[in-house]
Chain A
């Protein structure tokens, strides 16, 4: 399939007119399937002022299969696994909701939006989700603390 053509086009578009708070580059110039994304924590969220390194991997079947998104920077968030993988898998990133015409730009914007508005009902970190729902102040404190510690 013409996946290289599609990926190159998306990469060009994203580098030429990057969406707000998102900067993309290839992790290795010879491999278009591994991307390195620098994401600014959205304003008004406890991640504000943090710079998060996000890894975006494209499967060889891309765009018929969704990309995978993982946070290389440690982050305190209900929808990001609190381990060395830092993976995120929901909404359009799930294989059964992904459409081949969905774009990487949309994926990244979706991920960034998720930083501002977590989805505690689809959480991978149940404990953080509980805290987010019941003790928002404490959640924001810890999230800010982690941002300062790992993302600045």
Chain B
């Protein structure tokens, strides 16, 4: 818990961060106020003290989103004095930017209404009528009892045709906010009151769903959770331009953690742009580079080309008997007890070691150093996930074998989740480090990385012990889990602080 306190002190600077965003963010503050008013019981959720790498956000369910839209419609209704169904169309046209919309309406009311697909006529309520002598222009039916409907634009069609038209737009074309009057050349948008009057409950539901989808897409502060079948959206104030200085990881109610900036899975501590570059690079280079690297290497002493033919990293050159590590090409004798030095790419000694090799090879090696470790954590995280699935079984058998209660075996679940999360972080530390220029900060970063990596590997090892031993290891596992989490917090806090303050220097422009 000490470490937590240590990092509480960073909270004030986080507030600074949000506070110094300039005038554009005023709308953000306002949005949050609106939300607080609507969902005050959620308040304590976002009021917990934040670490430097955490951002403020809220998870919204479809009902909350509806509620939000309704709130804004009502607010603008009160200001403009127009019917709510028309205001909803106006707001959608203005992409929910209330201030701009109201300003535009005040300056040029008629043009604004016209452009939004509304006329200036707001008289009358939505109802179907029987009009004597009427013939529907779509189906050419006439008849004394033909029910008809027209919006305020006056283009009247029989209810059957209107209904069929709306159904086709909603079901087949997935259209909602931009459905126009069926009249040739008429650009009036169909409002929800007309729609509710004409179509089935099921279609109304679908229509609302589509509207909600565009609402979230239109708002910069809202994003859908990208997890399959997840219905929640996230409300977060981080703007695109903030993404150079912040990596906004959010956690949905469905437990999926993703980046609010780019919607990819959590990639802290690496910023979105670097992540994109890295993924692109891996896609382009990794296969070829891996082949070259995996199949041949030169002995750093005598330059004989060596093919790796076994799994062990301890290499002995046939020719000169030089012993080295396959991963880092460093002297093996230096590895013995502290082989974790292998996580650090020693630019200088590395370059020295490979001075005889082509320069392109050196940069390839450098890339692969990071790539292999990145890929390794990705792979291990997958294996850990398999393990996670076995965890439940383990916990059940642990309960029966040792007489522990369900609640007492939850430590395995906690440990397994910590492993997942830490590996995810470690994986991205390598992508991040690939783009870092060397300086003192990088050293500290690599030390933190090393500490976390060691902690994770030793927890991973404990976790794989036979079920019978697990109960006895409970205290150790709990300690190690806590330690892993603490190391992760330290690493992420340190990296986030430096990113926020622009302290990192990179070896590329981005």
Contacts and interface: CB of A to CB of B under 8 A. Distances in A.
A100 B140 contact: no
A1 B180 contact: no
Given A1-B139, A2-B139, A2-B140, A99 B168 contact: no
Closest 9 CB pairs of A and B: A2-B139, A6-B140, A102-B184, A101-B184, A100-B138, A5-B140, A99-B184, A9-B140, A100-B182
Interface in B156-193: 157, 160-161, 164-165, 168, 173, 175, 180, 182-186
Contact of A1 (B161, B175, B183, B185): B161
7 contacts: A2-B136, A5-B139, A63-B139, A96-B175, A99-B182, A100-B157, A101-B137
B183 A101 contact: yes
B155 interface: yes
Given A1-B139, A100-B161, 19 more contacts: A1-B164, A2-B140, A6-B139, A6-B140, A63-B139, A64-B165, A64-B168, A95-B173, A99-B182, A99-B185, A99-B186, A100-B165, A100-B182, A101-B137, A101-B155, A101-B184, A102-B184, A103-B184, A106-B184
Interface string A1-19: 1110110010000000000
A63 B158 CA distance: 14
Contacts of B164: 1, 64
A146 B141 CA distance: 44
Instruction: Say which size band chain A's interface belongs to.
Output: 10 to 19
B18 to A, nearest CB: 42
Contacts of A101: 137-138, 155, 157, 182-184
Interface of A: 1-3, 5-6, 9, 61, 63-64, 95-96, 99-103, 106
Give the interface SS of chain B, mostly helix, strand, loop or mixed: loop
B137 A2 contact: no
A3 B184 contact: no
A95 B175 CA distance: 12
A73 to B, nearest CB: 28
B272 to A, nearest CB: 33
Contacts of A63: 138-139
Contacts of A6: 138-140
Nearest to A8: B140
A103 B182 CA distance: 12
Nearest to B182: A100
A63 B140 CA distance: 11
A3 B138 CA distance: 8
B180 to A, nearest CB: 7
Contact of B160 (A1, A5, A61): A1
